[in-house]
Structure 1
Amino acid sequence: MVVNGHGGNVGALREVCADVTRHEEAYAVPFTWFDAIGATEMGHGGPVETAMLRATDPELVHDERIEEASAGASDGWGEWVSGTNLAFDSAEFTDNGAVGDPGEGTIERGEELLEEATAALVTLLDAVDERDRA
């Protein structure tokens, strides 16, 4: 099981796991927690990431920087036209790398996200364990 927390890694990890499964004597599956729970408001340092950090590693959240991060954040991830993101770099659409308002990332929401992600991972692990890998 490869547990992922970065959107930019999704495609690459799918390929790595497929390659390992096809050519090695192992079965590999990628798990991206925010996809598994349908977290649609994902973004760099936005409410979902901030909430999850508050629940898992609160010392990494610098409350004194939340207002500044919110002020320079974009409302969404990129510039989407016909299902394609025209922006290749987050610097094209956010002043400071933040996407979404980190001030909305509460510890309560983080605890809910962690519980949902954990349940999704356990379900996936159970399904992998029951899968006929022969």
Structure 2
Amino acid sequence: MTLLAEQTTTEAATALERADVAVLPVGSTEQHGPALPLGMDHMAAEAFAKTAQERDDAVVLPTIPVGVSVHHRQFDGTLYVSEGTFEAFVRETLESLAEHGCQKAVLVNGHGGNSNALRSVARTLRDEETMFAPPWNWWDSVGDLADELFEEEGGHADAMESSVLWHVREDLIRPTELEAAESGASDGWGESIHGASLGFDTIDFSESGAVGKPTHASPDAGAQLFEAARDELHALLDWLVERPLEACWPRGHV
């Protein structure tokens, strides 16, 4: 097992010496409507990250479960930190890992609201030549498959997310509540009036907190999505392991 948190300090020394890349799952604890648990995003990120735990060339870091979720604040149970706080926490976590000699990582992200902060973290660490840590959003890796499986614009607690959680944590999905989630959902993310984006908070355009068509979810679709995204993650890890560290840093002036 290469779950860092389960190692002793002496075992961690061996694991980190052997590892070419780290995997850091990040997500959120926020509302996902009446059918999905608050931990959907960090649970999905952790499930994908843990598929790397048997690799000899990777080490899986503890999950960061709270993210940039202020736009869900009106829904009960949502936890959030500011973008600056989240960015600093992720950056400093990776900086501490780099002190132990690991300078490559993949940020396995389960929450879209984290994306800007993660890109900023990755750029800062790369510019400083501390670590090369590209963010990886699982949903971006299976967009074509999701289009084949579902007829929705989606965006949150939709058929895609519901299906993945149904596969990862069947015990936590409430199938009988999918209809209620959809009845109060919006078709797409946000609200635009004459070209201006006015959907600052989710409650501005979704009564249930969901976006999309969660009733189209199924555990079979979830298995397909999970396996396809997992394969993409491992292809990224393979690429990163093989890439020389000096090729990861910013290029100089031409």
Same-fold call, TM cutoff 0.5: yes
Unaligned 5+ segments in structure 2 are 1-105, 148-152, 247-254
* Cα gap change, 1:16 to 1:81, in 2 (>3 Å): farther
Cα RMSD, aligned residues only: 2.0
Q: TM-score, normalised by structure 2?
A: 0.49
Question: What corresponds to 2:108 in structure 1?
Answer: 3
1:104 corresponding residue in structure 2: 216
How far apart are residue 116 of structure 1 and its match? 1.1
- After superposition, residues 88-127 of structure 1 pair within 5 angstroms as 88-127=200-239
Q: Distance in 2 between matches of 1:35 and 1:29?
A: 14
Distance 1:55 1:74, change over 3 A: same
Question: Is the helix fraction higher in 1 or 2?
Answer: 1
**Deviating 4+ runs (over 4 angstroms):** 80-84
Classify 1:83/1:49 alpha carbon distance in 2 versus 1 (closer, same or farther; 3 Å).
farther
Gaps of 5+ in 1: none
Q: What is the identity percentage for the equivalent residue pairs of Structure 1 and Structure 2?
A: 40
- The answer (yes or no) to whether the contact 2:166–2:222 under 8 Å persists in 1 is yes
Structure 1 127/60 Cα, relative in aligned 2: closer, same or farther at 3 Å? Answer: same
Q: Match of 1:22?
A: 127
Larger radius of gyration: 2
Q: Which amino acid aligns with 1:14?
A: R
Taking CA–CA contacts closer than 8 Å with sequence separation of 6 or more, which of the two structures ends up with the larger relative contact order?
Answer: 1
Q: How many corresponding residue pairs?
A: 134
For residues 54 and 71 of structure 1, the distance between their equivalents in structure 2, rounded to whole angstroms, comes to 20
Q: Give the TM-score of the pair, scaled to structure 1.
A: 0.89
Displacement after TM superposition at 1:74 (Å)? 0.8
Q: Indicate the residue corresponding to 1:133 in structure 2.
A: 245
**What amino acid is the match of 1:132?**
P
What corresponds to 1:35 in structure 2?
A: 140
Contact residue 108 and residue 138 of structure 2 kept, 8 A: yes
